[in-house]
Amino acid sequence: MTKRTRPGKKKVLIIEDDLDVSNILTVLLEGLEAQVFTAADGHAGVAATLKEKPDLILVDLHLPGMNGLEVIRTLRATPGLGSLPIIVITGNSTVEYIRETARLGATDFLVKANVLSGAGLQRIQKYLQPKVRASKKIGPSR
């Protein structure tokens, strides 16, 4: 797990196995004044969630060991994490993936290319604002 400390900032955990994608997301989120943690696989992501208690999680679906769907399922079954915002960020925006992540309790679903270009940052930023509650709206970013 990699951690960049910024006291008093919202904590965001990125669970992503592609180092380039993780680095780009980290830079974008730090631009939103977030404290960023990263994990390169699903098991490390679950462990980091329990240790760091992030305010928001960004998770890829295709991860080594434990995939993103299993991460969501595990975190939603963990007491105290039922309302933690979990945003799926993936290149696979099929209807089946969108439905399955919604069924498992993901908070939002964004297409990775849109986020990496900066276009999806507004949707992420709303979860970093004070007093924002996670909604159950799920759909591909545009």
pLDDT digits (tens, 9 = 90+) for 91-101: 888 899 899 99
Q: Binning pLDDT at 50, 70 and 90, where does residue 1 land?
A: low
Asked if the structure places residue 113 within a domain, the reply is yes
Asked if the structure places residue 133 within a domain, the reply is no
DSSP assignment string, 31-70: TTT-EEEEESSHHHHHHHHHHH--SEEEE-S--SSS-HHH
Asked if the structure places residue 1 within a domain, the reply is no
Residue 93 domain boundaries: 9-128
Asked if the structure places residue 136 within a domain, the reply is no
Asked if the structure places residue 142 within a domain, the reply is no
**CA 122 centroid distance within chain:** 14
- Residue 54 maps to which CATH number? 3.40.50.2300
Average pLDDT estimate for 90-113: 92
Asked if the structure places residue 3 within a domain, the reply is no
Q: How many domains does the chain have?
A: 1
